[in-house]
């Protein structure tokens, strides 16, 4: 039973809502992490799902780490350095690997502040639509720590090296409009339009053949790290799989019929 998130699937779209507004949807608690990871696993095995929307309940998208737990040195922040390192590997880093390893198109509907690991959760998504009330910050340095979830890998790949360095070194907060200008956010909308606009985009993606969306997502993921020769080999293999899928033949038939009707 889900206590800290809401999750549903319908029409080719999975929707995950972080639902602990009383702690600004902090995600470092083990129970919250497990619910998020299990939602991704459930969506991945449902062959009808093309896209997943991630958002937050209440005024914040996610505050990231639970600072009260840090202060109390409890939960994943308890123990000696070796224990803490292992807790990061088993916890928040596992979430980052899960998000980045997903074959689904991922949309972050950022309803409010996305801070620290919350910012990184949004960065792990493919597309980010922000409310005008959203803001983004890597505040790890203000707490005397660093991005332990993998955020220092994510941020430069989205914001560019120089801006990522400045944000990481200073902890400066970006408004939704600044994030849009920097290419971190795809669109900025009024708060009352956020969920509708995210759904519109999700529905556009969900209308495409599922094999094509998932293989394209996988190809884009490899583009981050593969050399050109390896990447082209993967492209050829994925394309061969796509050509063999019945949905491809159906799509081509519909396209040819439309041409004939002109």
**Segment-wise mean pLDDT, segments of 10 residues, the chain, 262 residues:** 94 98 95 97 97 98 94 94 95 97 98 98 98 98 96 97 98 98 98 98 97 96 94 96 91 88 84
User: Sign of the CA dihedral 85, 89, 92, 96?
Assistant: positive
- Whether residue 168 contacts residue 143, with contact meaning beta carbons closer than 8 Å, is answered with no
Round to whole Å and give the CA distance between 122 and 159.
13
Round to whole Å and give the CA distance between 65 and 84.
14
Round to whole Å and give the CA distance between 83 and 81.
5
The pLDDT of residue 255: 87
Round to whole Å and give the CA distance between 79 and 204.
47
Residue 110's φ and ψ, nearest 5 degrees, are -90, 100
- Single out the residue of 89, 5, 117 nearest to residue 52, CA to CA: 5
Round to whole Å and give the CA distance between 130 and 133.
8
Q: Any alpha helices (H) in 15-66, and if so which ranges?
A: 30-45
The pLDDT of residue 262: 79
Q: How big is the CA angle at 254 (ends 253 and 257), to the nearest 5 degrees? A: 85
- Whether residue 164 contacts residue 222, with contact meaning beta carbons closer than 8 Å, is answered with no
- Tokens 């074959």 correspond to 103
The pLDDT of residue 159: 97
The pLDDT of residue 260: 87
CA-to-CA dists, residue 141 to 80, 116, 165, angstroms: 21, 10, 12
- Whether residue 92 contacts residue 76, with contact meaning beta carbons closer than 8 Å, is answered with yes
Q: Which residues pair with 8 in a beta bridge?
A: 15
Q: CA dihedral in degrees (111, 117, 123, 125; nearest 10)?
A: -70
- Whether residue 179 contacts residue 134, with contact meaning beta carbons closer than 8 Å, is answered with yes
The pLDDT of residue 123: 98
CA atoms within 13 A on the CB side of 225: 6
- Please tell me the pTM assigned to this model: 0.95
Round to whole Å and give the CA distance between 37 and 41.
6
CA-to-CA dists, residue 135 to 93, 170, 203, angstroms: 23, 15, 26
């Amino acid at each position: 039973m889900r206590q800290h998130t809401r999750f549903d699937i319908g029409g080719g779209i999975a929707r995950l809502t972080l639902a602990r507004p009383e702690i600004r949807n902090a995600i470092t608690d083990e129970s919250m992490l497990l619910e998020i990871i299990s939602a991704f696993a459930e969506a991945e095995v449902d062959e009808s799902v093309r896209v997943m929307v991630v958002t937050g309940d209440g005024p914040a998208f996610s505050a990231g780490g639970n600072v009260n737990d840090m202060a109390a040195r409890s939960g994943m922040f308890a123990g000696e350095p070796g224990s803490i390192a292992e807790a990061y590997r088993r916890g928040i880093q596992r979430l980052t690997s899960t998000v980045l390893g997903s074959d689904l198109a991922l949309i972050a509907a950022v309803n409010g502040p996305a801070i620290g690991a919350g910012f990184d959760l949004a960065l792990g998504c493919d597309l980010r639509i922000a409310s005008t009330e959203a803001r983004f910050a890597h505040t790890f340095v203000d707490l005397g720590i660093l991005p332990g979830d993998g955020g220092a890998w994510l941020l430069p790949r989205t914001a560019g090296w120089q801006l990522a360095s400045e944000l990481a070194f200073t902890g400066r907060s970006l408004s939704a409009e600044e994030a849009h200008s920097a290419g971190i956010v795809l669109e900025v909308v009024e708060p009352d339009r956020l969920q509708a606009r995210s759904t519109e985009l999700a529905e556009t993606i969900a209308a495409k053949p599922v094999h094509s969306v998932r293989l394209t997502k996988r190809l884009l993921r490899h583009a981050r790290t593969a050399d050109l020769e390896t990447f082209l080999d993967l492209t050829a293999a994925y394309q061969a799989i796509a050509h063999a899928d019945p949905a491809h033949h159906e799509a081509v038939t519909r396209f040819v019929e439309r041409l004939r009707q002109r």
